[in-house]
Amino acid sequence: MDNISNAILALSLIIIMFGMGLSLRIKDFIQIFIRPKAIILGLICQLVILPIIGFLLIRVFTLSPEIAIGVIIISACPGGPTSNLITHLANGDTALSVSLTAVSSLITLVSIPFIINLGLKEVLGQGTKIQLDIVQTIAQVFIIVILPIGLGMLLKVKKPNFALRMEKPVKKASGIFFVVVLLAILIKERSLLMAHIQEAGFVTITLNLTTMSIGYFLAYLFKLSLKQRISISIEGGIQNGTLGISVATILLQNSAYAISPAVYGTLMFLTAGIFIYWSNMKMAKRTQIT
């Protein structure tokens, strides 16, 4: 996406993150760190399992070097604010999702260069030393995620009745925004999808579905709550495509490496939409039973 589209998306996410803050409490975050099993498992899914699956897939699939390196790039990226929005719409544990985004974004300042250098060596037989802009990455997470959510939580404390009234309308608005963004991306990137869907589409959707499934299964295996299973599934399988494109075009200075992150960033909205519908149906059924 171009700079104007990115700016609109960032502003929209800031507004939505503020809306999320209206439904969160400080104790929601405290509980996560008092019982850290969920956040540790989520980080393992994001930072360990996801890259391993990425490396396995580029060996299983017959890919051009550019597409293969793009797969490694996206498998090295954290979830980002989009995964927080999807978790919110899917009725997952939003506090867990936000915590994972904040922590993983800091860790990936080190892990992204390490994983991508391994990928370059694996595919091209060479390594390229890359570094992320630490200040820019921290500022992005703070401005788009932490600050607006914090302001929403503050408003909830100061004006609890107003926050309660606004919670449902804001969530509905977030759902509408999600659909609009999905349609806009499909229209804007249709030429890219048509040109590269055959090579990049199948491997990226396999990465997406595999990591989401593994995240959910492991969370179930470790007896986490349904909300936490939903969050870990999303955080493990919905990655920051925009960051992946930036790494490819700015740090590696090769726009061909951005094809896989761009295709992934489009297709993940489709799988996310299906997952949101499924998780809401599952949550509604559980509510009826109880």
pLDDT in tens, 19-70: 767 766 777 677 767 878 999 999 999 999 999 999 999 999 988 888 898 8
Count of CB atoms within 10 A of residue 66's CB? 19
The set of residues, in sequence order, having a beta carbon less than 8 Å from that of 11 and lying 6+ positions away, is none
pLDDT of residue 13: 64
- Tell me the backbone φ, ψ of residue 112, rounded to 5 degrees: -60, -55
| CATH number of the domain bearing residue 40 | 1.20.1530.20
Residue count of the chain, please give it: 290
pLDDT of residue 164: 74
Is residue 243 over pLDDT 60? yes
pLDDT of residue 137: 60
Is residue 71 over pLDDT 90? yes
197 within domain boundaries:
yes
289 within domain boundaries:
no
25 within domain boundaries:
yes
235 within domain boundaries:
yes
DSSP 167-229: HHHHHHHHHHHHHHHHHHHHHHTHHHHHHHIIIIIHHHHHHHHHHHHHHHHHHHHTT--HHHH
110 within domain boundaries:
yes
pLDDT per position as a tens digit, 175-228:
676 566 656 655 665 676 676 777 788 899 999 999 999 999 999 999 999 999
290 within domain boundaries:
no
Alpha-carbon distance of 113 to 54, in angstroms, equals 15
- 140: domain range? 3-283
pLDDT per position as a tens digit, 104-151:
777 777 788 888 888 888 888 765 555 555 566 667 667 766 788 788
Our count of domains for the chain comes to: 1
Do 175 and 45 touch, CB atoms closer than 8 A?
no
Do 207 and 71 touch, CB atoms closer than 8 A?
yes
What mean pLDDT comes out for the span 244-254? 73
288 within domain boundaries:
no
Alpha-carbon distance of 165 to 90, in angstroms, equals 20
Do 276 and 90 touch, CB atoms closer than 8 A?
yes
